[in-house]
Amino acid sequence: MGPIEIIFIFAGFLGLLIYVFLIYNFNYWKKRGVEGPQPRLLFGNFPSMLTQSRHIIYDVNDIYREYKSKERFVGVFALRTPQLVVLDPKLCQEILVSNFQSFHDNQFARMIHKDLDPVIALNPFILTGSEWKDKRAEITPALTPNRIKASYPIMQKVCTRMTEYLDVETLKPVESGLNAKELATKFTTEVVANCVYGFEAEAFEDDECQIRERGTKLINQSFGTQLYFVLAAFLPNITNIYRLQLVKPESEKFFTDLMETAIQLRKETKSDRIDFLNYLLQLQEKKHLSTLEMAAHTMTFFLDGFETSSVLISNCLHLLADHRDIQQKLRDEINYAFTSKGGLSYEKLLDLSYLDQCINETLRLRTPFPSGNKLCTESCEIRTNKGKIINLEKSTVVMLPYDCFHHDPEYYPDPERFDPERFSPENGGVKKYKDMGVFLPFGDGPRICLGMKFALCQSKAAVAEIIRNWEIAVNPQTKPEFVIDPKQFLYVPEGGTWLNFRRITS
Ligand code: HEM
């Protein structure tokens, strides 16, 4: 046998091995009697994970629509790894709330290692088991309604700064309009920097604002990291064998230095502002936290807080710009509550029922986190539609497709329509949908979003400020159809949201 033949035989053998490796798991769900779509070689049931030709939630929606009338859940393959997709909101509620002890961790926890990435590993979203419980309890008092109320004057100041910024920007002869997401991110960066670090980020003054840039690029997005995530989808155990540092060392240093400066400044100025930093300093004294631990706490606020809320704000502005009648109705409500002396007080802001409806309808239609991926932490039994009991193995990833529930005509008639009336008090308000388990923008149960009230407050403050002062319209540069950007994890449109602003008050 010559060398060419040997190479051919070797290549054929290797090809066969890879083929067997890719498909040998594909009968995993069949063996257990769980229905589901046929996986494709290499791609499994979520081809978009590899091709990135569309956002993965579109693949999930296709499966949901095909199976939801037949099954409570289906077995799928993320490339080659078995996962369960929940189709029944009642089962979703069980996983999030009543059977929480069997699903208390997030899948993402597998990817992060405390010794390598301490600034993000202490985020409650990442933490697992009792460590999660302790850190969540530690951070919860920082986000009580009283503390949010105390931060509201800061938000109002940032609102004024945003209007000044818009006054200047809208004078510029730019045909493309303004990028709503950019505007919203400037706003949330400034609010979070002020509330967390106690100083200004100068996000409106500086297009290359350091805090924002560093925050957005905190997780290394190199080709190597992306490859690691894809490999982890093929071979989940790789995260135990080869551990990758996700945060660049210079970014970690930037945020710990920032924390040190913030602490020093607060001690020097002896400010008694009841903000997040004030709470952290009390916590540091009580629990002797290191600067790194303090920085990790601020990262929780920062990472979870600025991007998600800016997605909500920009999507809400987009929908309002597209529905001028709803925009005007909202403006009337805001103007009625606004007084020239006190502006829009915290209590009044939270009392604006139509604003609340518009925000909830945006969260339904364009859910920033379109799904939740939970880990089965303790094997348990789940029941199929026909009453058959399936034993779910420990470590199985369970996908909760929030976006699919939010777009299901069975729960929301004419689901693609932006209709804030769905959430009116006369129609049962948001409670009706929460009770049905079909309104989940913030998740539910013991792990429900910790910053929900803060997020709603800052988002409402920004939307109210803009709608009161500006008439907004969609600029033609915005794509007519909202297609989620496949390269983003959150719900943002391809091509961005571009809006025209016309001043109505001076
Ligand atoms: C519109 C804005 C936001 C949305 C849509 C959102 C959504 C979510 C969702 C879906 C989860 C997962 C819940 C689950 O596991 O079931 C979550 C968790 C979390 N969020 Fe938010 N979030 C937002 C803003 C914020 C803000 C402003 C903060 C901090 C100030 C924050 C802090 C957290 C934390 C710490 C967790 C982890 C909770 C835990 O695992 O115990 N979020 N959020």
457 and 153 Cβ atoms separated by less than 8 Å: no
Distance 455 CA to ligand 1 centre (A): 9
455 lines ligand 1 (CB under 6 A): yes
- CB-based burial, 238-253: b 16+ in 10 Å, e otherwise: ebeeeebebbeeebbe
454 lines ligand 1 (CB under 6 A): yes
Strands 397-400 and 81-86: parallel
Residue 14 CA to residue 19 CA, distance in Å, equals: 9
327 lines ligand 1 (CB under 6 A): no
- Strand-pairing partners, residue 343, are 339
Tell me the CA distances in angstroms from 492 to 63, 183, 209, 314, 370, one per residue in order: 22, 14, 21, 9, 11
449 lines ligand 1 (CB under 6 A): yes
Tokens of residue 250, six digits: 């210079």
Residue 393 CA to residue 390 CA, distance in Å, equals: 9
441 lines ligand 1 (CB under 6 A): yes
107 lines ligand 1 (CB under 6 A): no
3-state secondary structure of 30: helix
Segments of the chain with pLDDT less than 50: none
Distance 340 CA to ligand 1 centre (A): 35
309 lines ligand 1 (CB under 6 A): yes
Determine the pLDDT at residue 434: 97
296 lines ligand 1 (CB under 6 A): no
Determine the pLDDT at residue 505: 66
187 and 306 Cβ atoms separated by less than 8 Å: no
Determine the pLDDT at residue 441: 98
Give the nearest ligand 1 atom to 363 CA: 5
- Stated as kind and residue range, the H or E segment containing 76 is strand 73-78
Determine the pLDDT at residue 270: 77
276 lines ligand 1 (CB under 6 A): no
Domain count, the chain: 1
437 and 93 Cβ atoms separated by less than 8 Å: yes
Residue 272 CA to residue 275 CA, distance in Å, equals: 9
Residue nearest to atom 27 of ligand 1 (CA): 305
Helix 249-269 × helix 291-322 angle, to 10°: 100
CATH number of the domain at 170, please: 1.10.630.10
104 and 446 Cβ atoms separated by less than 8 Å: yes
Q: For the residues of 96-125, what is the DSSP string, one character each?
A: IIITGGGS-EEGGGGG--TTT-HHHHTSTT
Residues annotated within the binding site for heme are 449
pLDDT in tens, 126-183: 999 999 999 899 889 989 998 899 999 999 999 999 999 999 998 887 777 999 999 9
- For 96, list phi and psi in degrees, rounded to 5: -80, -30
Distance 491 CA to ligand 1 centre (A): 15
The candidate with the shortest Cα–Cα distance to 131, out of 296, 17, 273, 6, is: 296
The interface predicted TM-score of the complex, written ipTM, equals 0.99
Residue nearest to atom 13 of ligand 1 (CA): 443
Residues annotated within the binding site are 449
Q: Residue with structure tokens 């903000």?
A: 275
Determine the pLDDT at residue 317: 98
The candidate with the shortest Cα–Cα distance to 374, out of 86, 134, 120, is: 86
Which structural domain range is residue 228 located in?
Answer: 3-503
Residue nearest to atom 16 of ligand 1 (CA): 443
Determine the pLDDT at residue 313: 98
Residue 345 CA to residue 36 CA, distance in Å, equals: 52
The candidate with the shortest Cα–Cα distance to 111, out of 239, 19, 212, 9, is: 239
* Type of residue numbered 448: I
- Residue to mutate, 276, 359, 374, 449, ligand 1, most ligand atoms under 8 Å from C-beta: 449
How much is the pTM? 0.94
